[in-house]
Each structure stands twice: as structure tokens, then as C-alpha cells.
Chains A and B, each alone.
Chain A
Amino acid sequence: MKVSIYRYNPETDREPSMKEYEVDTQGKDLMVLDILALVKEQDQSLAYRRSCREGVCGSDGMNMNGKNGLACITPLSQVAPGVLEGKKPLILRPLPGLPVIRDLVVDMGMFYNQYEKVQPYLQNNTPAPAIERLQSPEERAKIDGLYECILCACCSTSCPSFWWNPDKFLGPAALLQSYRFLADSRDNATEERLSKLDDPFSLFRCHGIMNCVSVCPKGLNPTRAIGHIRSMLLERGI
């Protein structure tokens, strides 16, 4: 099958280009990450990130035939119709909207900055008990669908509002984490967290496009989390 990969090495290339490779999959429905490993055996200069190869570490977010996802849990058959059968090439590009360091490796700095801005850690100024802080199963259930985020950046880099204002709009991943702590019964910094979000950009640049929901490899729903924060901000304003 044919694979077309975005290549750019700042040391040698003036501009990026797409390079074609031929890979023999023996008809198997391999994961895209397996294809990358086969290409790298041919051409060791190809750079991409990878670690767990099972969809939990979030290293290998990339754009596959136009859609963001994790290479390690995306089988060829799911990339686009005709790719597995070799009728169409597999087209791999770096996550859009972030600076490219080399090939499929993007500079995640802006993405991590936004994450850090939401103070993504539990805050509780009451003295800790000798055992755990008690939390009912119902309270705990409120952070399901939030804490599972793997910081792969598939969502934020598919979000037009993030492309436009990556420095001022926090983006879906950071906002999901913001709500993860707002929703945690053990956290009591709600007021401080909300006041930091109460400006025209940080949260309110979300226009409900929902690309984040359609690409999240973990099936999470940042748009819903953003909606919950909006409600909290509105209630606080009344």
C-alpha cells in the first residue's frame, strides 16, 4: 500500500514536503503506528512520537487522512474507506495548528501552557484527615469522563477557536481538566477557578463546533464540560 507522510527537518529542508512510501501489510488491518514502524525500518530518519502503543499515553496524536486521532489504536480500515484495500493512500500529517519541530512531531508547548493555566491539581485548604477524604460513589461519578484525558491534543488541535487564539482560548483539553477539578467534591477552589475563566477568551471562545468530541480517542466530551462551566459561571453571576 502507499503511504504519504509529511516530512520536514529544519536542519536540511527549506520547506515541508509529502514523501511517498510503499509498505507491504500482507493484507492485514494493521494499526497506523505499525505502518509507521514499517516505514521507519526503510527510512530511519522519519520522526514521530510513540510510547505505550495501546492508546493510553497520548504520544502519537496525528492527522490521518484529514482526521486527528491516535496512530496506535487506529486500524487502517478505520482511517478512510479504501485505505486498507490499497485503493487510496494513507496520508499522515502532524497535528494541525501547532508548530512543527520535525516530520510528525509538533511543539506541544502552547497546548501544555494552557493546561497549566487551569491549575490542574487538587486544591483544598482544610487539613487532610488521617485517612482518605471521603467521597461518595455519586460524587466520584461526577469526574468520570473527565479524569481519563490523556493530553494527546487531538481535540485542541482540531478546534478552530484554538487555531485562532491558541494563547488566549484555553482549548477543549484544558477546559475539560478545569471542570475535572471543579467537579471534584474534594476540591474547594471553585470560586478562584471560576473567576480565572470569566473573561471573553479563556472559555467563551468555544463556539460549540464539537470537533473535539468527534476526534477524542477516549470518547470524552469536552463540549459538555465547557457547558457545565458556563452554567456555573452564569449561576455565579446571578
Chain B
Amino acid sequence: MSIRTITFDAIVVGGGGAGMRASLQMAQSGFKTALISKVFPTRSHTVSAQGGITCAIASADPNDDWRWHMYDTVKGSDYIGDQDAIEYMCNVGPEAVFELDHMGLPFSRTEEGRIYQRPFGGQSKNFGEGGQAARTCAAADRTGHALLHTLYQQNLKNGTQFYNEWYAAELVKDDEGNVCGVIAIDIESGETVFFKAKATVFATGGSGRIYASTTNALINTGDGVGMALRAGLPVQDIEMWQFHPTGIAGAGVLVTEGCRGEGGYLINKDGERFMERYAPNAKDLASRDVVARSMMMEILDGRGAGPDGDHVFLKLDHLGEEVLHSRLPGICELAITFAQTDPVKEPIPVVPTCHYMMGGIPTNVHGQAIKLSGGHEGEDQFVNGLFAVGEVACVSVHGANRLGGNSLLDLVVFGRAAGLFIEDQLRQGMTQYEPTDGNIDEAMARLNRWESSAGGESVPALRKELQSVMQNHFGVFRKGDLMAEGVAKLADLRKRIANAHLEDKSGPFNTARIEALELDNLLEVAEATAIAAEGRTESRGAHSRYDYPDRDDENWLCHSIFDPKAKKLGKRDVNFKPKTVDTFQPKARTY
């Protein structure tokens, strides 16, 4: 089958913070760079990030040190974050954040004219010894919006070629498995095109829509992970899903941790500030996994509020109208719209809600996608031509639990790093791998399957069922038998989705087609999550099991690697070798 080919030096799939930081880097240096995004870039999910970007720029505290931030991140990851990557992120971070200011990001300010920083969960001074740190750089509570628009503006200025409302459907590989580009659909016309490039950068974001209740945008369907898994590539630590403590009960909409950073706290139905019992030092600013679990314990112990006792409250009224309206204006709007609650007067009903995928495509600090061959654990081999940055990647700086404010830093630092690395490779002469017609046909197979479907179950019904399986079997607390049941249900869903029906086959702006293709990706991410969660027989970070309640460093101080071909879970060494500081040794994690 022959389809139109468009050729670039580099293509970036995804127009969120990571993708646009990567494309900006390459476009600035004059390389022919395309950014393919299924939505207009400023509609990407980065726009919803609220509280800030955590980075030791030493504004709030002139003595702040990136090594302290590194320590907090390693501890937050429950020791399976790679220390070389965390070192790189925390060390390079300040430069990357100052660049954002120079680009025009409208950060909030201190009296000295510097960037305003607020306290966030899990952030300490002096390697956990000096109390709470204020390290999270903020633009009110709209930091993601400010960041995303700034990056889009800079890409406009620097001539990135945008393919907005184009949907990347499949990786194209040659016979040796080298990546040649992607198949993408122009949503507006329905045309299918082969984008050929020396470097393909996945920046497709997260997959929170595998759960029924999530803070994630409707577009977060795990397209990059889905494409990688179908291409036979592994994913790492995919069982690690963050449940954000404060999603608005019922609506799932996020309420920033910055609320607690500014002095808000959680109360149960009796009005008790319960975090004092679970985390006597950090209290409401303990790490997210700790706070989410504590909230669920309160609810399960019968101290939840509401007619069904299914949520707790976030109390903010004591902060006063002025602070709320100047520091947390977006939250006030969201609470009124989605909880019919004015935080100036009453507390917001909140519940832990699926928020972030710590796992993803394993990469090194340059974004190079790692494939593993049998038996060589820890010895990295790369997928030629493929890179991943941002939430879709697992570099891994978040390990088993991400700290608040570290995702935006991850986006800009590693988007930039991948851009810098690819630029350098392009200058040295990077290979363009050429696919055969057969390779293209192979990549088109899934599209053709949907196009020729003549009957079967509908996409919305199957999606709903998948989301409820994930919600009920792979939530905050997990248990072996319940997960085994979930794995079986997903296997059944796989068969049914393979025979599902796309009724509307029209060309122009056919969102039913996109939703069908997204469903395939949701299934891939859900199944990988399920098998990895069942396989990791311990509790660590966000992965918490009733049947294995303790952390097991002897067997599981490692990454999990899900192999989609065998549907088996393997292990990969965690990096404990930072370049400029001593290793942070695993110890008991308390807040």
C-alpha cells in the first residue's frame, strides 16, 4: 500500500510540555522539526498542572541546594528512581527554569523580584534534617497553563512546523526493529500519512483514562505506551500509578497540593486533622502516596464524610480570602464549579484520584528508548531512532512515587536534554532507517482492522468496562486474588476489543475513529499495569498490597520490566551511581 510520505529530521509526537521543549530545542538550532499533536498544543494536559515546578533556584531560601532536592526525590521514589537521572534533573533544573523565565513564563514574584516558591509535599532542607522546604516555583495555581502557553509561543517564534489535530497511530519500524517514523492521521481530513524522520520523539503524556476516576484529561489515553507495546518494546515500573490525594469527590478534578503548601489541611468527618496521626512531622505535606493511603484508611475505618462516607475534606477557609484569591484563584473557581463549594467559606470534598503514571518507556537521560535483550539486566541497548520524554517515559526520576512539582521539571529538563542530544547526533550524521512497503503495511494493519469492522461491540461501552476493571481491581490498595481476577477480565476484554466495531467510517473530523484507536492503547496500558502490579510482590511507593504489606529490598529494589511479547515481568537494575555526589542508600521511609 502506498501512502503519502512527509520527511523531517525529527518528529515529536505530543504537544505538551516535554514535546514542545524538545521541539523548541531542535527548531532553535535550525533542524527541520515537526510536532504532531492530536489536539492544538495548548489543549495538552500540561495545561492542567497547577501548583508549580519544583527546583532549587534558591529564591525562597538563598541556601537551598539541588542536592537536597535530589535527596527528597530519591526518598520520594522509595529508592527505585535512578540516581544518575535524578542528579541530572535536580542539577540542570535551575538553568532550565531560568530559561523559562527568559522565554516569558509569568511566574509569581517575591518582594525581591525573584520567582515565588511555595512549600510542597516531600520537600526538605538539608537532606531531611532541616524541616520543610519552599522549593516549588509557581505562577499562581496555573503554572502548567503558563508553562505550556510560553512554550507554544516560543515554538511559533522559532519555526517549529506544527501538525495540529493529527493523530499518531503507529510506529513504523524496519525489519531490524529500527524506528523510521510514525503513521499519522490528519483528523480534519481523515488522510493517513507516513511521517519519516531520523529521530522520533514520543512525548505523548500519560494514560490516566485507564481508570474510571482520574484527574487526567480525556485525551490521556496512553498512545505512546500503546504504540511501544504493540511494537514489542518493553515498559518499566508500569504498576506504579500515583493517586493524588485531592481530586474533587465525584468530579475527579484536581486540587493542587499547593493548597496544603499554602497551609491548608485535611480533615475527616469529625473535623479531625488526621494526618497528624499518620505523618507526625510532615503531616499534610507528607509524600502523596502516604497522604492518599492515610485518607483511604480514614474512609475505610468509617471516618469518611458525606452520605456514603466516601470522602474527606480539604480545609482552606482559615487562610483567608486574600491568600486564596491571590495564590489559589484557579482552585476557588474549580471548587465552585465542580463541588459547589466556595473554599473561602467551607472545606472542599476530596478523595484520592488516579493522577500520574510513574512508569513508561525506559530511557536514559538523553531520552533514548531502551530495549532489553534476554539476560543482560542493567546493560542498556537502545532502540535506534526512538526517544521518549515526559510522562510517557520512565527515565526514571519518579521511581515508585513522584513528588509534587517534579513532573513539570521532568518535562522541561528531559525535553531539553533529548533535544540537545538529537541535535548533536544530527550534526554528526544520523541514520535515516528506510521501511519497506511491507513494514508500512504492518503499521497500517490496526487501522485497516477498524476500517473493515462490520459488527461487534461499541467503543464507549468497552471503554467504560475497562475503566471500571482498573478502578476496582488496581486501586490505591491492591491484593493478589483481586488482581488475578482483574488480569483475567482484561484478557477477556482484549478478545472483545479485537472484534469491536467502528460504525462511522467517514473521513472528516471523525472522532469515533480516534476514540477506537485510543481504546486499543488504553487496553495495552491497562494490561501491562495489571500484570506488573500482580507481579511485584511487595509494597513500595504508590504500589501498596494487603498481601505483601512491606517493602522487600532483597527482591524488589529494582525496576520491573514488562515484556509485551511474553506478557511476563522481568527486572532491571536501578542506577545507584550518581556522578558528583555519594549514593543515597535506601532506608526506612517516614515523614
Contact = CB atoms under 8 A, between A and B. Distances in A.
Answer whether A and B are interacting partners: yes
Interface of A: 9-12, 40-41, 44-45, 47-59, 73, 75, 101-103, 105, 108, 112, 116, 119-122, 124, 128, 130-137, 139-140, 143, 147-148, 150-151, 181, 184, 186-187
Nearest to B38: A51
Contacts of A151: 40, 42
Q: Which of A108, A120, A181 has the most CB of B within 10 A?
A: A120
B43 A57 contact: yes
A139 B106 CA distance: 11
A148 B142 contact: yes
A101 B510 CA distance: 11
Contacts of A52: 43, 45, 47-48, 217-218
Contacts of A11: 506-508
Contacts, number: 151
A137 B327 CA distance: 12
B114 interface: yes
Nearest to B94: A131
Contact of B333 (A55, A112, A150): A55
Interface in B486-518: 503-504, 506-512, 515
B39 interface: yes
Contacts of B110: 137
A170 to B, nearest CB: 16
B412 to A, nearest CB: 14
B586 to A, nearest CB: 35
Contacts of A139: 109
Nearest to A151: B42
A53 B109 contact: no
A53 to B, nearest CB: 6
B45 A51 contact: yes
Contacts of A116: 156
A59 B15 CA distance: 14
Pick the most buried of A50, A51, A53: most chain B CB atoms within 10 A of its CB: A51
B156 A59 contact: no
Nearest to B95: A130
Task: Among A40, A45, A54, A186, find the residue whose CB has the most chain B CB atoms closer than 10 A.
Answer: A54
B334 A147 contact: no
A80 to B, nearest CB: 18
B207 to A, nearest CB: 15
A73 B153 contact: no
B338 interface: yes
A122 B104 contact: yes
Interface of B: 39-40, 42-45, 47-48, 57, 97-98, 101-104, 106-115, 139, 142, 145-146, 149-150, 153-154, 156-157, 188, 217-219, 253-254, 330, 333-334, 337-338, 458-461, 503-504, 506-512, 515
Contacts of A181: 104
A184 B109 CA distance: 13
Nearest to A52: B217
B33 to A, nearest CB: 17
Contact of A44 (B40, B253, B503): B503
Contacts of B97: 132
Contacts of B508: 9-11, 101-102
A98 to B, nearest CB: 13
Nearest to B144: A56
A218 to B, nearest CB: 8
Given A49-B39, A120-B156, A136-B113, 6 more contacts: A12-B506, A57-B47, A102-B508, A132-B114, A134-B112, A147-B139
Contacts of A101: 188, 508-509
Given A73-B337, A134-B112, A140-B106, A56 B154 contact: no
Contacts of B114: 131-132, 134
Contact of B334 (A41, A54, A57): A54
A186 B115 CA distance: 13
B505 to A, nearest CB: 10
A112 B156 CA distance: 11
Nearest to B46: A57
A221 to B, nearest CB: 15
A112 to B, nearest CB: 8
Smallest CB-CB A-B distances: 3 pairs? A122-B104, A134-B113, A132-B101
Contacts of A50: 218
A213 to B, nearest CB: 17
Contacts of A132: 57, 97-98, 101-102, 107, 114-115
Nearest to B513: A44
A91 B182 CA distance: 40
B109 A137 contact: yes
B109 A135 contact: yes
A43 to B, nearest CB: 9
Contacts of A10: 508
A138 to B, nearest CB: 9
Contacts of B515: 44
Nearest to A48: B511
B227 to A, nearest CB: 20
A51 B254 CA distance: 14
A147 B146 contact: yes
